[in-house]
């Protein structure tokens, strides 16, 4: 799958977002090492801390499907907004070597990596004695 195709999947997922409070719809598409794509969208909640971001929806859905290795994730917002800190940490846990495509509503995107988004991130080896 090309980066542009993955971005298109994230843009489609964005249309499914439940964002009645902020109106800021986000879609994500994560690409597994097997070539499968799992989608996610943000789901807001009146109790704001219960809101879950599109990136975490896509990644946790993939894990629930038995997927454990990811090569890329595309994130689409209206203005090319970058993943939040919590999403960066989850991406570090589940796919520290993933490529990240950050797209705006027109489909224009920039390319980065999880490690670039979260330098010196907290990883499982930090839990060792």
Catalytically active residues, by annotation? 55
Q: What is the DSSP pairing of strand 37-41 with strand 109-113?
A: unpaired
d(CA 107, CA 57): 21
Where helices occur in 15-122 by DSSP H, the ranges are 54-64, 85-94, 114-117
Please state, in angstroms and rounded to a whole number, the distance separating the CA atoms of residues 120 and 58.
Answer: 24
How far is CA 40 from its chain centroid?
Answer: 8
**C-alpha distances in Å from residue 55, one per residue of 65, 104, 127:** 15, 15, 24
């Amino acid at each position: 799958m090309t980066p542009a195709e993955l971005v298109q999947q994230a843009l489609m997922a964005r249309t499914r977002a439940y964002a009645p409070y902020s109106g800021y719809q986000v879609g994500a598409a994560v690409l597994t090492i097997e070539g499968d794509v799992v989608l996610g969208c943000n789901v807001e909640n009146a109790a704001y801390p219960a809101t879950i971001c599109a990136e975490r929806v896509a990644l946790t859905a993939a894990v629930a499907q038995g997927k454990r290795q990811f090569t890329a994730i595309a994130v689409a917002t209206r203005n090319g907004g970058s993943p939040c800190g919590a999403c960066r940490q989850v991406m570090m846990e589940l796919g520290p070597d993933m490529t990240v495509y950050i797209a705006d509503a027109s489909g224009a995107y920039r390319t980065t990596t999880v490690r670039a988004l979260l330098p010196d991130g907290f990883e499982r080896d930090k839990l060792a004695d």
